[in-house]
Amino acid sequence: MNNAILQINELKTYFFTRLGVVKAVDGVSFDLRKGECLCLLGESGCGKTATALSILRLVDSPPGRIMGGAVMYHGEDLLQSTGARLRQIRGNRIAMIFQDPQSSLNPVFTVGDQIMEPIRLHLKLGQRPARERALSLMAQVGIPQAKERMKYYPHQFSGGMKQRAMIAAALSCDPEILIADEPTTALDTTIKAQILDIFRDLKQQKDMSILFITHDLGTVAGIADRIIVMYGGRIAEAGSVLDIFDRPKHPYTWGLLNCLPTISERREKMTPIPGVIPSLIDPPQGCIFYPRCQWHMPVCQEKRPEEFVISGEHIVACYLHK
Amino acid sequence: MKRGGLQNYIIRRLIYAFLIAFGVVTITFILLRIGPSSPADKYLANISARTQNPARVIEAVEARYGLDKPVIQQYFDYLVNLARGDWGWSFSTSLPVIELIRRHWIYSFQLILLSMLFASSLGILIGIYSAVKQYTRTDYIATFFSFIGISIPNFWLGIMLILVFSVQLGWFKTYYDTGLPMFSLANLKALILPVITLGTGMMAGYTRYARSSTLDNLRKDFVKTARAKGLPERVVIGKHVFRNAILPIITIIMFDLAGVVFGGAYLTEIIFGIPGLGRVSFNAIFANDYPVVITITLIGAMVVLLTNLTTDIVYTWLDPRIRYD
Amino acid sequence: MAIRRISDIFGGRRHLLFSGLLLVLLFVFLLDLLVIDHIFGPFVYFYLFFTLLIIFYGIYPLYVNRRLTRYYWERTKRHRLAVIGLSFIIFLVAVAILGPFLTQDPTEVDFPNKNLPPVGFSAEQAIYDRNTGNFITTETPGTWHHPLGTDDKGRDMLAMLVSGTRISLQVGLMATLIAIFIGLIMGVVSAYLGGWADNALMRFTDIMMTFPFFLLLVFIVFIFGPSLWFIILAIGLTGWTGTARLVRSEALSLRTRDFIMASKSLGASDRRIVFRHLIPNVLSSVIVIATLSIPGVILAEAALSFIGLGDPTVTSWGLVLHAGQRSLDTAWWIAVEPGIMLFLTVLAFNFLGDGIRDAFDPRSQV
């Protein structure tokens, strides 16, 4: 159980805005194990992106600030490391790719340059060997005619190709961990599938650990080993992919799975979860899902539920399963 | 832009510039013609004291300048003359206008060039720094000073600088000494106050552009990607942000020429006695020497036109998004 | 009932009333011009026209849309600098209106009292003493009779500054209105008509923008003569290009927006779309541009007066500065005081304009 290479402990990240303090990540703890694909699942605004950004301390520091917790990587707390040490790790041991490849690539530099950048920085290779390596990476992620395309600018690539280029850049130094923030959300369905294939290959061939952030249940089903369901800046439920899909325990997860239209069942109406996503400014002291939960009990309003163990690695933050 | 597309663009742009030039010249002509006093009257006003026979003089002037011919004919003559380089005779200085310009343009040029270098280098640096350190005290101070800079009337600034540094402190002469060799330190010193006068207003504006352009780019996602790659902050800003921010900044600076720079240079030359084209034009106005005034106005417009053209082409060439499409 | 019919033609009672009053004004104007001599000076018509314009198309809409007005006002108020700017401008307006009644005549020369420093300062003056045949330097202190001192012809500085305030505000307001008006029409028409009309208008705008603003202004003043009327007109006629460009691009982006399409599909006529939909939406940008143009206009007039191309019959700040330049070593206050006024005025409008711009920008969190 303990081949965890990344341990997040009680991470708290708040954003200080004019309207109040947004507690985007409010006490989140989990492990990432070697060779596994862990999905952070949740709707927009639940804090999953903020969590991922906090790992590498990429949160925009005027409004946001990491208030507490630890991110243990090989015995080192990344939240306490020096800037220099952090920069050694970024792009090198832990790499991250983002949602919209169009805006994530710098429009005034060639794609080749941008892939070679981390290679030259971390691996300290010269121009020629760096280019060789970049070419092989581009081939690995499935960019055809790599030699010519290296000199292209991002806007000359299609969406799927751009994302592949981003992945190539992220993989360039053979990182141990890849954090992917909604990498397929902005892409067409067919391209989505192709990109997911790349991720699957990475996991298998390189034993890479992937932290995959998404709101799409279909994607999760296709790629996850374990799933963490987030809501309101906190973890609602976590477990293996079977745990979550076959025997979900949290009312929110029930709601999520119920929302899905399925071919096999006939239904009169879609059943969305009643209510709205809560504001993360001044969250209640009890369970944050309380107002939308059909099964709420008085205790739910008083105190925030801890994470109760259902079995093995399946945990739930809900008093129903105490 | 397809291959050869850049060439086509340049050609089209040149044609367009030519049309604009044509329009500029035409408008100038129209303005002259609808003015209340004819050029002959102005000329006459100048020499009427010295002649006994005004009627004959008017005739001669009209013949010389073709003012007795129909308007269309005058228009064509005007165009042809401009193209040929016959820009008229300046009777207040007894020189062909083109010679007058040849002798004086360099003073305007050095003033404007130095001011722009001063304003843009400082302005851009402060602007970028201000953006990177947004919301800190440095940012507020820089923003405040740039407000002041664009609000100070530049002709007043010139006078105040003269008052403090020339009159009270005596560090500089109050009037520009044209006897100084151009590339000498003494000349540079003499240009300090004028350059500060002209450059301060410009710099304040440039600081604002640089700051806003940098801020726009700091918010972009590729900055996050750059940081996620482990690049040091100075590379993130200095390479990634800078290359994206600088092009719009320079473009705005260049296109702003028509508004700020020439007007300011005109006034600065007058205040400090720098014998550039602005001052020459100014003297010509009070001498009613209209060929000079027309020509210098046209030159101003043409310089703006050329600058816009060049900036446009260079921008198209440099921005990969436009060039490689 | 008949009134209702007529007003429908005009598009509303407000427009009817405005047109009616405008006709009356025009009638009086023509009367003045052709029949009786000089009932009012030319400026009065200008004033009245613009007052009518502002009341009917500025104040009335603001009054009717109180909630909207208050929203923007709240947002503007949060900008401390903008509020400071606005207060100063109000102060200036008060000075301009009341000042002439409280101060001396700015054109009254008073040679014996020339070159008096402001109160609290004293200046050395070299006075030729006929008896000894030498210059005697005496220290002349300022007096409360001339609190800001006098110029080299003995005119009271305070009075001249007050006069200058009036002039600058008049010029600022009217020239800006002209420029904005032209720019607005050009921009909206161009964007709405599209095609070759748009092309032609934009080429024309390009041509006008190629002339350096100040050079063109000087050129026009050179040709037409330096009367205040013409200067205001000239500034207005040369300064509209920026507005036109901005309005056009905003209108273009609005044109393809859904609510315009919806309007069209409901059968709205072109003119209706332009007036009821396009213009109001563009208006917020126009207000910002207008406020930010005023300082440029004021400075342009001041610069013209400063170099001697202004209206010599009018005491404006630029004119005082012009006089001040000659006396830098003997009477520094002549140059310093009008400059300070100019600076503060421009600063105030810049503060206000910036605040308004932030207030109108939906993206900025004020």
Instruction: Please provide the DSSP assignment of B295-316 as one string.
Output: HHHHHHHHHHHHHHHHHHHHHH
Measure the CA–CA gap between C73 and C179, rounded to whole angstroms: 25
d(CA C24, nearest CA chain B) in Å: 31
Residue ending a domain, among B29, B56, B83, is B83
Does a structural domain hold residue C311?
A: yes
Residues A159 and A215 in one domain: no
Give the mean model confidence (pLDDT) for residues B204-228. 91
Return the residue of B nearest to A110 by Cα. B320
Residue ending a domain, among A154, A174, A194, is A174
Residue span of the structural domain in which B125 resides: 102-286
Q: Which of A103, A108, A153 sits opposite B243 (nearest CB)?
A: A108
Task: For chain A, give the mean pLDDT.
Answer: 87
Instruction: Residue B262: give its domain's CATH number.
Output: 1.10.3720.10
Q: How would residue C366 be classed by pLDDT, with cut points 50, 70 and 90?
A: very low
Tokens coding C183: 């720019």
Residue B297 and residue C346: Cβ atoms within 8 Å?
Answer: no
Per the DSSP assignment, residues forming a β-bridge with C348 are none
What Å distances lie between residue B198 and B37, B142, B166, CA to CA? 34, 19, 17
Residues 6+ apart with CB under 8 A from C125: C115, C137, C138, C139, C140, C330
Residues B122 and B75 in one domain: no
Residue B256 near residue C208 (C-beta atoms within 8 A): no
Does a structural domain hold residue C365?
A: no
Q: Which of B221, B229, B325 sits opposite A90 (nearest CB)?
A: B229
Residue C292 near residue C357 (C-beta atoms within 8 A): yes
pLDDT in tens, B45-76: 666 556 566 666 666 666 666 666 677 777 77
Residue A87 and residue B231: Cβ atoms within 8 Å?
Answer: yes
pLDDT in tens, C7-41: 565 556 677 777 788 888 887 777 776 766 655 55
Q: Which of A143-147, A289-293, B119-123, B156-160 has the lowest mean pLDDT?
A: A289-293
Q: Which of A106, A118, A156 sits opposite B230 (nearest CB)?
A: A118
Measure the CA–CA gap between B193 and A128, rounded to whole angstroms: 52
Does a structural domain hold residue B159?
A: yes
- Count of Cβ atoms closer than 10 Å to residue C261 Cβ: 11
Please state the domain count of chain B.
2
Residues A161 and A199 in one domain: no
Residues C213 and C356 in one domain: yes
Residues C160 and C290 in one domain: yes
Per the DSSP assignment, residues forming a β-bridge with A21 are A16
In this model, does residue B41 exceed pLDDT 60?
yes
Residues A120 and A259 in one domain: no
Residues 6+ apart with CB under 8 A from C214: B262, B263, B264, B266, B267, C300, C303
CA quadruple B35, C183, C302, B117: dihedral sign: negative
Q: What is the pLDDT of residue B286?
A: 85
Residue C241: burial class (beta carbons within 10 Å; 0-12, 13-18, 19+):
buried
- Count of Cβ atoms closer than 10 Å to residue B229 Cβ: 26
Q: What is the pLDDT of residue A32?
A: 92
d(CA B205, nearest CA chain A) in Å: 25
Residues A215 and A226 in one domain: yes
> Is C211 touching B (CB cutoff 8 A)?
yes
Please give the interface size between A and B, counted as residue pairs whose CB atoms are below 8 Å apart. Answer: 78
Residues C22 and C142 in one domain: no
In our burial notation (b when 16+ CB lie closer than 10 A, e otherwise), range B133-143 reads eeeeeebeebb
Measure the CA–CA gap between A123 and B290, rounded to whole angstroms: 70
Give the mean model confidence (pLDDT) for residues B97-114. 89
Per the DSSP assignment, residues forming a β-bridge with A94 are A90, A177
Residues C5 and C137 in one domain: no
- According to DSSP H, which parts of B35-171 are helical? 39-47, 54-65, 71-84, 97-132, 137-151, 154-161
**Whether the predicted interface score ipTM is above 0.90:** no
pLDDT in tens, A90-113: 988 999 999 888 889 999 999 999
> Is C42 touching B (CB cutoff 8 A)?
no
**Contacting subunits of B (3+ beta carbon pairs below 8 A):** A, C
Tokens coding C258: 């859904």
Tokens coding A188: 């067409």
Residue C212 and residue B259: Cβ atoms within 8 Å?
Answer: yes
Does a structural domain hold residue B238?
A: yes
Residues on chain B touching A100 (C-beta within 8 angstroms) = 221
| A272 residue type, one letter | P
Per the DSSP assignment, residues forming a β-bridge with C125 are C138
Residues B51 and B196 in one domain: no
Residue B51 near residue B60 (C-beta atoms within 8 A): no
Residues B16 and B149 in one domain: no
Does a structural domain hold residue B153?
A: yes
pLDDT in tens, C221-232: 888 888 888 888
pLDDT in tens, A124-179: 888 999 999 999 999 989 899 888 989 999 988 988 899 999 999 999 999 999 99
Residues C345 and C323 in one domain: yes
Q: What is the pLDDT of residue B316?
A: 83
Residue B224 and residue A104: Cβ atoms within 8 Å?
Answer: yes
d(CA C210, nearest CA chain B) in Å: 5
In this model, does residue C118 exceed pLDDT 90?
no
Residue span of the structural domain in which C133 resides: 116-148
Q: What is the DSSP letter of B238?
A: I
Question: SS3 letters for chain A?
Answer: CCCEEEEEEEEEEEEEECCEEEEEEEEEEEEEECCCEEEEECCCCCCHHHHHHHHCCCCCCCCEEEEEEEEEECCEECCCCCHHHHHHHECCCEEEECCCHHHHCCCCCCHHHHHHHHHHHHHCCCHHHHHHHHHHHHHHCCCCCHHHHCCCCHHHCCHHHHHHHHHHHHHCCCCCEEEEECCCCCCCHHHHHHHHHHHHHHHHHHCCEEEEEECCHHHHHHHCCEEEEEECCEEEEEEEHHHHHHCCCCHHHHHHHHHCCCCCCCCCCCCCCCCCCCCCECCCCCCCCHHHCCCCCHHHHHCCCCCEEEECCEEECCHHHC
Tokens coding A67: 């208030």
Q: Is B96 helix (H, G, I), strand (E, B) or coil?
A: strand
Does a structural domain hold residue A98?
A: no
Give the mean model confidence (pLDDT) for residues C334-360. 89
Residues B58 and B142 in one domain: no
Please state the domain count of chain C.
3
pLDDT in tens, A9-60: 999 999 998 888 899 999 899 999 988 999 999 888 888 999 999 999 999 8
Residues B266 and B149 in one domain: yes
Residues A24 and A165 in one domain: no
Residues C9 and C88 in one domain: no
Does a structural domain hold residue C46?
A: yes
Give the mean model confidence (pLDDT) for residues A290-294. 83
Tell the residue number behind the tokens 């991110």, with chain if given: A71
Element (H, E) at B89: strand B89-90
> Is B141 touching C (CB cutoff 8 A)?
no
Does a structural domain hold residue A99?
A: no
Residues B45 and B122 in one domain: no
Q: How would residue A252 be classed by pLDDT, with cut points 50, 70 and 90?
A: confident
Does a structural domain hold residue B303?
A: no
Please state the domain count of chain A.
2
Does a structural domain hold residue B260?
A: yes
Please give the interface size between B and C, counted as residue pairs whose CB atoms are below 8 Å apart. Answer: 133
> Is B151 touching C (CB cutoff 8 A)?
yes
Residues C128 and C178 in one domain: no
Does a structural domain hold residue C366?
A: no
In this model, does residue A243 exceed pLDDT 70?
yes
Does a structural domain hold residue C128?
A: yes
Q: Which of B173-182, B226-235, C194-203 has the lowest mean pLDDT?
A: B173-182
> Is B167 touching C (CB cutoff 8 A)?
yes
Q: Is B67 helix (H, G, I), strand (E, B) or coil?
A: coil
Residue span of the structural domain in which A56 resides: 4-93+177-321
Residues on chain B touching C330 (C-beta within 8 angstroms) = none
Does a structural domain hold residue C138?
A: yes
Longest dimension (CA), chain A: 67
Instruction: Residue A40: give its domain's CATH number.
Output: 3.40.50.300
Select the more confidently predicted residue: B289 or A235. A235
> Is B311 touching C (CB cutoff 8 A)?
no
Q: What is the pLDDT of residue C112?
A: 65
Measure the CA–CA gap between C297 and C243, rounded to whole angstroms: 13
Q: What are phi and psi of A18, to 5 degrees?
A: -60, -25
Tokens coding A82: 């020096």
Residue C210 and residue B32: Cβ atoms within 8 Å?
Answer: no
Residues C127 and C258 in one domain: no
Residue B321 and residue A155: Cβ atoms within 8 Å?
Answer: yes
> Is C202 touching B (CB cutoff 8 A)?
no
Residue A222 near residue A196 (C-beta atoms within 8 A): yes
Residues B142 and B221 in one domain: yes
Residues A206 and A144 in one domain: no
Measure the CA–CA gap between C256 and C269, rounded to whole angstroms: 16
Q: Which of B83-92, B116-125, B160-169 has the lowest mean pLDDT?
A: B83-92
Measure the CA–CA gap between A238 and A258, rounded to whole angstroms: 18
Q: What is the pLDDT of residue A169?
A: 93
> Is A90 touching B (CB cutoff 8 A)?
yes
Residues A263 and A124 in one domain: no
pLDDT in tens, C262-321: 776 776 666 666 566 666 677 778 888 888 889 999 999 999 999 988 888 888 899 889
Does a structural domain hold residue B91?
A: no
Does a structural domain hold residue B291?
A: no
Residues C125 and C154 in one domain: no
Does a structural domain hold residue C314?
A: yes
Q: How many CA atoms, within 13 angstroms, populate the side-chain half-sphere of residue A307?
A: 19
What Å distances lie between residue B229 and A70, A76, A146, A196, C56, CA to CA? 21, 19, 21, 22, 60
Q: Which of B227, B230, B244 sits opposite A106 (nearest CB)?
A: B244
Does a structural domain hold residue A100?
A: no
d(CA B189, nearest CA chain A) in Å: 41
In this model, does residue B173 exceed pLDDT 80?
no
Give the mean model confidence (pLDDT) for residues A267-290. 77
What Å distances lie between residue B273 and A185, C95, C322, CA to CA? 65, 36, 15
Does a structural domain hold residue C70?
A: no
Return the residue of B nearest to C224 by Cα. B35
Q: Please state the separation of Cα A141 from the chain's center in Å.
A: 20
Which of these, A282, A255, A239, A287, lies nearest to A24 by C-alpha position? A282
Residues C85 and C210 in one domain: yes
Q: What is the pLDDT of residue A303?
A: 84
> Is B301 touching C (CB cutoff 8 A)?
yes
Q: Is B95 helix (H, G, I), strand (E, B) or coil?
A: strand
Q: Which of B221, B228, B320 sits opposite A108 (nearest CB)?
A: B320
Q: What are phi and psi of A114, to 5 degrees?
A: -70, -30
Residues B171 and B241 in one domain: yes
Does a structural domain hold residue B292?
A: no
